[in-house]
Chain A
Amino acid sequence: MKYIDEFRDKVLVDQLLEKISSVTSKEIALMEVCGGHTWAIQKFGIPFLLPENIKLLSGPGCPVCVTSKKFIDQAVAYSRLKDVIITTYGDLIRVPGSTSSLNVEKSRGADVRIVYSVLDALQIAKENPSKRVVFLGIGFETTAPSSAAGIHNALKEKLTNFFVFSSHKIMPPAMAALIDEGVTINGYIAPGHVSVITGSHIYEGIPSKYGVGCVISGFEPVDILQSIYMLCKQIQENDYRVEIQYKRVVKPEGNVKAQEMMAEVFTLRDDWWRGLGTLKDSGLAIKEKYSNFDAEKMIPVEVEETKEEKGCICGEILKGLKKPNDCRLFAKVCTTSNPVGACMVSHEGACNAYFRFNK
């Protein structure tokens, strides 16, 4: 298949592995920030192929994983309202809240629907004028523009029953926070899809401030291995920069139209990240101008007190300080069919990927 097979070519993979082995023998810890990379790395069995001196850490790039339990609890509370239809990307429905999950509420009769796009949610709103349709806006710069477009379209079409519950976040504050917290990271495999929207400049502060390189990577094995090679080369040459490996998709300036759409609808706010706590200007709130579409403002709801799971070390795993199998719940109490922490739910989550492919 075009654009896939070339990037899974075994000969190229072997050549890259050889180059990686020969470029440096230093002990190197690289973090993939994006959950899509975590998934691909495990799916293709990449850790098994790398030389021993190169360690890959999974970062906080799985949207489901970094979303707070409070957000889930509030979504559960919305789903219990008789006239509300919850529309959400698939993984979120299995994330455990304090005492329930959207999946469980669905089995109790709540109207929870999985959508692949915010446009599906808009369509559901149009078809159900007597219901309030809440779209759960999670994800980074990748999904935020489409949520913004959803709100924009709802305004254009004069929909009064469509709302976004935003937990959208942006990536750079988390990448800086990890280094500030003292996690040893020698290079970032930077998120490809985020960068399609943002361009490469958002990472500029990381090499200049911390001396840590960023290579924006694609998601196929050849992409990931080439990015690892580029990072190793930067480390060997002591020359830390932002580079784009995923050139077939990512432009330095990004997708300007999508950036404008985001800026039109969202404004920065401090936000809470699982494992990292509250990070300044890291979340996206819906601007006052669009508050008619903001579920938080328009649908008052009582939310139960948030209870965090005891023993779950998702936080440390998201920071790359621990591996999933360091957790005493891993594969015993916490499994893909009965996840305790969010990292076990999404197939982009480090625990889930580790459980499915390595346990």
Chain B
Amino acid sequence: MENNILLGHGSGGKLTHTLIKDLFVKYFDNHILSQQTDSALLQTGSSNIAFTTDSYVVDPIFFPGGNIGKLAVCGTVNDLAVSGAIPKYISASFIIEEGFSLKELDIIVSSMAAEAKKAGVLIVTGDTKVVNKGQCDKLFINTAGIGILDANQLKISSGKCIMAGDKIIINGAIADHGMAIMASRNFGNFKSDIKSDCACLNHMIKEIIDAGCNVKFMRDATRGGIATILSELSENNEIGIEIDESKVPVNENVRGMCELLGFDPFYVANEGKIIIVASAVDAEKVVALMKKNEFGKESSIIGDIVDSHRGKAILKTGIGGSRIIDMLAGEQLPRIC
């Protein structure tokens, strides 16, 4: 029945996966792409490089806690950092609607520069296209990013070294970004003080890696929320995951809005949250290090890798029940990033 692209194809959930598998991978297939990691891992001579790309179409382009430009830099930096790489260079291409305010563009570009400086990356190339009014919505940004990857961290992207007993860690409260966007669209006439968690996490990640912690997997929990990542991780690596609902932090204002609108915070997008899988021995050390960083103050262990129910992520609910954590089907919120 679906001969056309639906919004759900861009959700990061099941439809996106089907599209990638049945179309993009089918035609582009090669040994690097087929690894399907957040960043492509490339080898040039003796060094390893992580290479990523992303497009930003968030609506509205200004939201509490950031704007489309800051989001573009943070998203690209985080994609590289969770691969275990040190982000170095970024490209930035702008697709701009005719009539867009130069003043607003100035604010967006300057915030990109500020964020890049904070993250320690250089924006080294770019492109500009302007389209007729109505042919794009204000501004879309495409980026690419390159990072340098230590050979010891090559395993992180795939998570293939994960084993039963490992711990699952998160760096703070979930669902802030998605609900901040929702609130800023004035959805349901909400007034809220929810701010996006949009932030570059590369320094925090570097501190963990430099301390020699045995990190086995990292992923930023963007579209589809932590549920999609956990479900994907368990399925791709044939491992059992058990998450303790009561240990996953959700801010009260975000929780309230989710309850009212019927959203499950596990599926709501984040832009400054990572899931880390670390060895049981090092897990507490990782949490302690993260807590010292401004973006990891609420870090905690939220679950375990277990030997049972391989291929499935199970949530132990707050009341002691249990249920499966599945990937998002259909779209939850279009144009969230």
Contact = CB atoms under 8 A, between A and B. Distances in A.
Interface stretch (A40-48, A156-164, A293-301, A319-327): A40-48
Given A1-B255, A104-B4, A116-B188, A48 B330 contact: no
A42 B323 CA distance: 7
A301 B244 CA distance: 52
Contact of A49 (B1, B255, B264, B321): B321
A117 B324 CA distance: 31
Interface residues of A, number: 37
Contacts of A42: 323
B320 A336 contact: no
Contacts of A13: 319-320
Interface string B228-272: 000000000000000000000000100110010110100000000
B5 interface: yes
Interface string B140-153: 00000000000000
A356 interface: yes
B323 A43 contact: yes
A45 B245 CA distance: 12
Contacts of A9: 319
Interface size classification for chain B: 20 to 34
A10 B2 contact: no
A336 B7 CA distance: 15
A46 B256 contact: no
Contacts of B14: 335-337
Contacts of B317: 43-45
B324 A14 contact: no
A106 B5 CA distance: 10
A335 B329 contact: yes
B322 interface: yes
B18 interface: yes
Given A104-B1, A108-B4, A14 B320 contact: yes
Given A335-B329, A337-B8, A4 B259 contact: yes
Nearest to B322: A45
Nearest to B18: A337
Interface in B1-41: 1-2, 4-8, 13-15, 18
A22 interface: no
A36 to B, nearest CB: 9
A221 interface: yes
A46 B318 contact: no
Contacts of A14: 320
A96 B2 CA distance: 11
B100 interface: no
A45 B321 contact: yes
Interface in A23-70: 42-49
Contact of B252 (A1, A43, A107): A1
Contacts of A336: 14, 326, 329-330
Contact of B256 (A1, A48, A103): A1
Nearest to A94: B330
A44 B323 CA distance: 7
Contacts of A4: 255, 259
A94 B332 CA distance: 12
B330 A337 contact: yes
Contacts of A96: 1
Contact of B324 (A106, A116, A221, A358): A358
A247 interface: no
A49 B318 CA distance: 12
B7 to A, nearest CB: 8
Contacts of A117: 188
Contacts of B188: 116-117
Contact of A8 (B15, B261, B319): B319
Nearest to B188: A116
Contacts of B329: 335-337
Interface in A323-353: 335-337, 347
A278 interface: no
A337 B321 contact: no
Nearest to A5: B318
Identify which of A13, A42, A94, A103 gathers the most chain B CB atoms within 10 Å of its CB: A103
A197 to B, nearest CB: 19
Contacts of A10: 318-320
A10 B188 CA distance: 32
A43 to B, nearest CB: 7
Contacts of B324: 356-359
Contacts of B15: 337
B198 to A, nearest CB: 25
B330 A357 contact: no
A100 interface: yes
A238 interface: no
A316 B109 CA distance: 58
Nearest to B16: A337
A357 B1 contact: no
Contacts of B6: 103-104, 106-107
Given A1-B256, A336-B326, A337-B18, A116 B319 contact: no
A116 B321 contact: no
Contact of B4 (A1, A48, A107, A356): A107
A116 B1 contact: no
Contacts of B262: 347
Contacts of A99: 1
A116 B186 CA distance: 12
A166 interface: no
20 contacts: A1-B252, A1-B255, A1-B259, A8-B318, A8-B319, A10-B319, A44-B323, A45-B323, A49-B320, A96-B1, A101-B1, A103-B8, A106-B7, A107-B6, A116-B188, A117-B188, A336-B329, A347-B262, A356-B323, A356-B326
Given A8-B318, A335-B14, 15 more contacts: A13-B320, A14-B320, A42-B323, A44-B317, A45-B316, A48-B322, A104-B2, A104-B4, A106-B6, A106-B7, A107-B7, A108-B4, A336-B326, A356-B323, A356-B324
The 7 A-B pairs at the shortest CB distance, nearest first, are namely A45-B321, A336-B329, A357-B323, A337-B14, A107-B4, A337-B329, A13-B319
